[in-house]
Amino acid sequence: MEKKLKKNPLWIINIYLIFLLLSFGVQAKDYPEKPIHLIIPFAPGGVTDIGGRYIAQQLTQKLGVEVYAENKAGASGNIGASYVANAEPDGYTLLVGFDGTLVINPHIFEKTPFNTLKDFSPIGKIGDAALILLANPSLPAKTVKEVIALSLKDPKGLSYATSGIGVTPHIAGELLKQKTGANLVAIPYKSGGQAIIGLIGNDVPLAFTNLAGATQYIESGQLKPIAISAKTRVTSLPNVPTFIDSGYPDIAVMSWIGILAPAKTPRAIVMKINKALNEILNSESAKEKFGALGILTTPTSPEQFSEELKHDLSLYEKIVKTAGIKAP
């Protein structure tokens, strides 16, 4: 018997594999047993931070352990994303992922400290945020067609403010240029709030920004809406057309946030968090909370979120390369 065992070491490997499988099963069944850290890769106060902290509070109630929201800002989200990518894949370190960090940064930075598709296990999207093209009221244009025509009259083009280089509003502006031939020049500000201030002060005639930060200025008459980048009109501004309504079907850019774990996180743990997340997002309180931030909640499966990551990586790669956008 002893000789047979020595000649056939596969029994040892099989027992080891069975032990691992049983361990994973117990781990997934008992998860979570200790606090979870939800990493927000930006400074406090922004939409990603506010949304992430709300999800952390709700997951605490759903999962029965404290879910701590931690800000690890820097390098357009790369620092926080890298921290999670290198964490143990045990479900206790999660990321609030933002489209700018995960699907735009890989194309505008010479090198990012993570691979979006290889280093993360997507759990689910939180929601989509529409972008809007705004104008100073003094600009003699009310429609997308009129903005394009006006931009072509001046050899210097029309300037549009964004919240930075390579952010989603910047990408939306470049897509508008590439699809229509408009002569637009991006002017990066340090934040969306500063871009709005520059537009109100008429330092720039146009701005691409998140809808949430613009609604109050539209309602007060301080800014003029031109078009929204969503596929359908938004309920908060039903009279503002989409780019599709305006005759430009190829221009639909949404900013999004979602939850991801390190790659190789056990499937059962991913699905447990996904179930809790989707229950939160389907609640009326979550819809109201995110609606106030200009975000439409979008419960998804991990597979759906993964496919969207792949799609957006490919889409933005083409836009960034054509525009020649590079991180400062």
Give every residue of the chain whose pLDDT is below 70, as ranges: 1-28
- Give phi and psi for 3, each to the nearest 5: -65, -40
Is the CB of residue 155 less than 8 Å from the CB of residue 201? no
For residue 243, give both structure tokens. 């780019």
State pLDDT tens for residues 55-71.
Answer: 999 999 999 999 999 99
CB atoms within 10 A of CB 72: 18
Q: Where are the beta strands (DSSP E) in the chain?
A: 36-40, 67-71, 93-98, 120-135, 158-162, 184-188, 206-210, 224-228, 254-262, 295-297
Q: Would you give the DSSP letter of residue 242?
A: B
Q: Are residues 122 and 261 in the same domain?
A: yes
Assigned domain for 18 exists: no
Closest residue by Cα to residue 192 from 230, 147, 223: 223
The CATH number that applies at residue 172 is: 3.40.190.10
Assigned domain for 264 exists: yes
Assigned domain for 16 exists: no
- The pLDDT of residue 5 is 45
Q: Are residues 58 and 94 in the same domain?
A: yes
Measured over the CA atoms of residue 69, residue 75, residue 78 and residue 79, the dihedral's sign is negative
Measured over the CA atoms of residue 264, residue 265, residue 268 and residue 270, the dihedral's sign is negative
Q: Are residues 166 and 305 in the same domain?
A: no
Is the CB of residue 165 less than 8 Å from the CB of residue 108? yes
For tokens 């390579």, the residue is: 166
What is residue 119's three-state secondary structure?
coil
Report if pTM > 0.85.
no
Q: Are residues 138 and 172 in the same domain?
A: yes
- The pLDDT of residue 314 is 94
CA distance 146 to 185: 16
What angle, 0 to 180 degrees and rounded to 10, lies between the N-to-C axes of helices 267-281 and 284-292?
80
Q: Are residues 153 and 222 in the same domain?
A: yes
CA distance 171 to 76: 15
Q: Of 212, 228, 244, which residue constitutes the final position of a domain?
A: 228
Q: What's the one-letter identity of residue 249?
A: P
Is the CB of residue 211 less than 8 Å from the CB of residue 236? yes
Q: Are residues 134 and 122 in the same domain?
A: no
- The pLDDT of residue 10 is 55
CA distance 130 to 212: 8
Per DSSP, what are the bridge partners of residue 96?
259
Assigned domain for 250 exists: no
Residue 172: its H or E element: helix 168-180
Q: Of 228, 247, 279, which residue constitutes the final position of a domain?
A: 228
Assigned domain for 62 exists: yes
Q: Would you give the DSSP letter of residue 282?
A: T
CA distance 217 to 222: 5
Assigned domain for 9 exists: no
Q: Are residues 109 and 152 in the same domain?
A: no
Q: Are residues 143 and 123 in the same domain?
A: no
The CATH number that applies at residue 276 is: 3.40.190.150
For residue 294, give both structure tokens. 């200009």
Assigned domain for 248 exists: no
CA distance 123 to 280: 14
CA distance 105 to 124: 20
**Number of domains within the chain:** 2
Q: Would you give the DSSP letter of residue 45?
A: T
Q: Of 211, 228, 245, which residue constitutes the final position of a domain?
A: 228
- The pLDDT of residue 159 is 97
Domain that holds residue 167: 130-228
Q: Are residues 122 and 136 in the same domain?
A: no
Q: Are residues 119 and 192 in the same domain?
A: no
Q: Are residues 138 and 105 in the same domain?
A: no
For tokens 């549009």, the residue is: 160
Q: Are residues 125 and 136 in the same domain?
A: no
Q: Would you give the DSSP letter of residue 165?
A: T
CA–CA distances in Å: residue 122 to residues 15, 69, 113, 258: 31, 18, 18, 8
Is the CB of residue 302 less than 8 Å from the CB of residue 121? yes
Assigned domain for 204 exists: yes
- The pLDDT of residue 43 is 87
User: For residue 82, what are the contacts with CB-CB under 8 A and spacing of at least 6?
Assistant: 112, 113, 114
